[in-house]
Chains A and B, each alone.
Chain A
Amino acid sequence: MPISDFIKPMLVLVLVSLAAGVLSVSIGSTAIDLEDTLRVLTGGGGALQQTLILELRLPRTLVAFATGGLLAVAGALMQVLLRNPLADPYVLGLSGGAAVGAMLAMLAGVAGFLVSGSAFAGAMLATLLVFGLAHGSGSWTPSRLLLTGVVVAAGWGAVITLILSMTPAGRLPGMLYWLMGDLSRATTPWPGLVILVLVCLLVFPLGRALNVLARGSLQAAALGVSVRSLEWFIYLMASLLTAVAVTMAGAVGFVGLVVPHMLRLVLGNDQRLILPACAFAGGTLLMLADTLARVVIAPEQLPVGVITALIGVPTFLYLLYRSR
């Protein structure tokens, strides 16, 4: 891949995500025009505007960026791992496990950090469950892993319904918002951003090995890739990304499936480009979706997961329709 094929799309994506970020912090119950927004972001502006943008809106925008980036990179990794464009952390039941963890904590009446911790534990448990069962006594194949994930995800769905039916009415809205994906509860974007950057730095050098792995595990082994350890590493990294995203923002669907797909249709299938592109495109999509979620029926807010699905489905279908 010539280096210019890498720089150009990345430059565009970085600029687009910066623009989306500025847009996201300037729109809200009190609209702030572009000039003032930029002034605040560069350290000036009035006290009220500073509070609005820097303390209220910017953290949430960064949470949206981090969540979207985490989910999109996780989805791209899962798709290569399973050699199946339908793979996604949600399809594999990771978010289901996280949701059950979070809801059990909410049902027990705890809040804050314990809910997040419980969600994280649920996602990691789901990971071990799927990988352990798919491994089984026989061979480890992508189709078996995908099927195991789908079935386990269905199981989590049943548990979620069970918990909902046992929950007192007063606690239901919090849970439902969590299930639909909601950015308003997140307090700080930093854990998500730090994990996103760290995992990306670990995974990007593997890009070419992942390109080879996409041709099948035997072909990859014949080209010198240590397939088993690479697959484990990728799965763990994707699980970690998902767990962090779900813990921050609840179950935001569709980003992990749609973003890598859209990028592959436009940019081709070189993971060295697709993975960093996913981080920015996923972040951009979720920042825009969250902006919409805040303004569509203002002052009420929609769960951002609704918006990602409403944007994601038609975009995806259109791209699929006009693809080669």
Chain B
Amino acid sequence: MAILTTEELIIDIPGRASGAPLNLSIEPGQVWGVLGPNGVGKTTLLHTLAGLRVPRSGLLLLDGKPLTDIRRKLVSQQMGLVFQDRQDGFPATVLETALIGRHPWLSSWQMESGEDLAIAEHALQSLDVIHLRDRLVNTLSGGERQRVAIATLMTQAPGIWLLDEPTNHLDLQHQTSVMKLLRRQAASGQAVFMCLHDLNLAARWCDQILLMFPDGQACWGRARDMLITTALEKLFDQRLLTAELDGFPVFVPG
């Protein structure tokens, strides 16, 4: 269980005005969705939250302690990130790829134990890629790789899950199963914070929403307060038709 808070955080996007500072509190049990048009800084925000980029100003606190004061290894036990792009310069199998998620938990001389292997296999099972365990990652399809990447994060088992467009390349069935998995993680005490492009996925699965506007403005809050048609139309500069199905709002380009 970990809480990530930002105090007056302004992410650093070269050549753009600072805009509104973010005062977020990402807490156990929450599922956050970040919405915004291309190039608005969603990925930069995720990397900044993970401590991989220096913010222009403001503070990041992990359980009340400044992120920069905590050793990277300890940070990576608390917080993990699924990247949008991955490097497969060297071939590795699916199982090896998932197992690197155990890195933060092992000392230099330690080999992965049977327990680590079991954690990785359970993650591969949850993401429905266990049948690929001995395949080379670079021979997989985009959607399969995406699921392996999420399985790696699950193997890392951090308290805070940051995901950059986790449903990229996924077919409908796996989009749903990944979202269900993320909700289950949140229900068991993890915090999930993800960038999404699909308004309807956000509406269906997220309970907190952050809207990022191109001019650097931002607003955030409970999903039902944020997913207002006029605000979303302004966000994407696109007229939207709205309906309600089974109690969830549905948005279609108008």
Contacts and interface: CB of A to CB of B under 8 A. Distances in A.
Given A218-B83, A224-B73, A3 B103 contact: no
Contact of A205 (B75, B92, B108): B108
Contacts of B136: 324
Interface string B64-92: 00000001111111001101001111111
Given A208-B108, A215-B86, A216-B86, A223 B91 contact: no
A216 B87 contact: yes
Contact of A206 (B47, B108, B139): B108
Contacts, number: 84
B122 to A, nearest CB: 18
Interface string B114-130: 00000000000000000
Contact of A218 (B47, B90, B93, B106): B47
A84 B108 contact: no
B103 A225 contact: yes
Contact of B90 (A219, A222, A264): A264
Contacts of B75: 224
A223 B90 contact: no
Given A1-B112, A223-B76, A215 B100 contact: yes
15 contacts: A1-B111, A205-B108, A206-B108, A208-B108, A211-B96, A216-B86, A218-B47, A219-B86, A222-B80, A222-B81, A223-B80, A224-B75, A224-B103, A224-B104, A268-B92
Contacts of B50: 222
The 6 closest A-B pairs by CB, nearest first: A224-B76, A216-B87, A224-B73, A83-B89, A205-B108, A224-B104
A75 B145 CA distance: 29
Interface in A280-324: 324
Interface of A: 1, 3, 79-80, 83-85, 205-206, 208-209, 211-212, 214-216, 218-219, 221-226, 264, 268-270, 272, 324
Q: Most chain-B CB neighbours within 10 Å: which of A223, A225, A270?
A: A223
Given A208-B103, A208-B106, A225-B103, A214 B47 contact: no
A85 B72 contact: no
Contact of B103 (A216, A223, A264): A223
A219 B91 contact: no
B76 to A, nearest CB: 3
A218 B89 contact: no
B156 interface: yes
Contacts of A225: 72, 103
Nearest to A323: B91
B52 interface: yes
A321 to B, nearest CB: 16
A216 B84 CA distance: 13
